[in-house]
Amino acid sequence: MSVQQIEQRLAAANERLERARHAARARWQPGEQAEYWAAQDAVLVLERELAAAKGEEHAVPLDFPVEWDAGCPRPHLFCNDYKALLAFVLREGEPGADGAGVEAVGPADEEASPLALVEFKPCFAAKLGSPNDEVLHGHPLQGRGLEGYTAQRVVNSCWLAEVEAINKVHRCYDPALWRGRSHYVFWFHDTTFECIAGSFKVELYWEGMAAMLVRMCRRLLS
């Protein structure tokens, strides 16, 4: 399929999504909900197809085993020069899309909650910060498969290409090694996590965030 054909299909899909959005606002019932999510999925698929056809960077779903709390995930990032550790609160129940009913607590809170600890290694770069979910539409991946509140992998990553280009000056540079490295992005509520790493593993715990932070410190030092 040509780029022009994909663009035409994407334009039609966006029109469908806009109609579904208006219908859902007027009457958020099962029928309208199903059509809205189906229309949104169709747009995301075509955005990724178009970006791939153009050789541009785009975000694709990551096969990730858990979902985090959409309203208050409380992500924490610890890292050293080899690994990155990311902890966050898992989704529990069905809070509102705006986070209503979710109580924000600090890392010193000792009440146990379902937590995930994700270890990335080898990790070559990691960051946690802006943007939040209110300005995701300003992110370069918007319109290229970006799907909020999910874990994704960036294909044709500009960041990964930039880091690799810097490392090409090393006398031991091996392009084959870089083919096994990925750009991961996790879209949280108030922050975004991104890293370049070889792989990741996920562990689940039921404990307070303070206990988790101690666990993360020990893991880094081990």
At residue 105, the pLDDT reads 43
Q: Is the pLDDT of residue 25 over 90?
A: no
Lowest mean pLDDT among 1-10, 92-101, 200-209: 92-101
At residue 108, the pLDDT reads 54
At residue 109, the pLDDT reads 57
At residue 40, the pLDDT reads 95
pLDDT tens-digit series, residues 95-149: 333 333 334 444 555 678 899 999 999 999 999 999 999 999 999 999 999 999 9
Q: Is 152 helix (H, G, I), strand (E, B) or coil?
A: strand
Average pLDDT over residues 5-9: 95
Which of 94 and 18 is assigned the larger pLDDT?
Answer: 18
Average pLDDT over residues 78-89: 96
In angstroms, rounded to a whole number, what is the distance separating the alpha carbons of residues 90 and 208?
12
Give all strands (DSSP E) within the chain, no chain letters.
Answer: 58-61, 76-79, 84-89, 113-129, 151-155, 182-187, 192-207
